[in-house]
Amino acid sequence: MTLAQIVMLGVFPFAMAYAAASDLVSMTISNRLCLLLVGSFGLCCILLGLSPAAIGWHLAAGALVLILVFGLFAAGWIGGGDAKLAAATALWFGFDQLMPYLLIAALFGGLLTILILRLRSRPLPEFVEKWSWARRLHAANEGVPYGIALAFAALLVLPDTTIWHAAIGV
């Protein structure tokens, strides 16, 4: 197994799972995690010998998403961690798989939001009230851990990306 495959099959899925779990229990996505995604993307580019043009298109996709999600963050529609995660993840997809990623994240995020709003309309079970993260998630004045939707979409779309195919040898 090559180092690029280890990063692709290990670091990226771990980072996505950690982002989803962290967002669920604390409503935060670490800056370090987003930096890990950016750095491991750069490492993959070097290891896979991506052309400067290909890297440029990936960077442009990440920058475009960063601009878009910064606007959503400024409007108060998404959290800062979600914005950083979406942009860091977009680097991996480039424009090739950017729309499928954003579409799946939006659809799953909508379902997640509906589910959480429905759960908030019901009282928490007594044994769950002991968990601070569950009480926070249940609170009507809290947001939705959208990092879960972003991570889910990223894991679904990754196998269709050109960088995945280059690393795996497909």
pLDDT digits (tens, 9 = 90+) for 141-150: 888 999 999 9
- For tokens 């990063």, name the residue: 7
Structure confidence at residue 170 as a pLDDT band (50, 70, 90): low
Q: Is the pTM of this model over 0.85?
A: yes
Per-domain residue ranges of the chain: 3-168
- Compute how many other C-beta atoms are within 10 angstroms of the C-beta atom of residue 82: 27
Structure confidence at residue 29 as a pLDDT band (50, 70, 90): very high
Handedness of CA 87, 104, 154, 49 (dihedral sign): negative
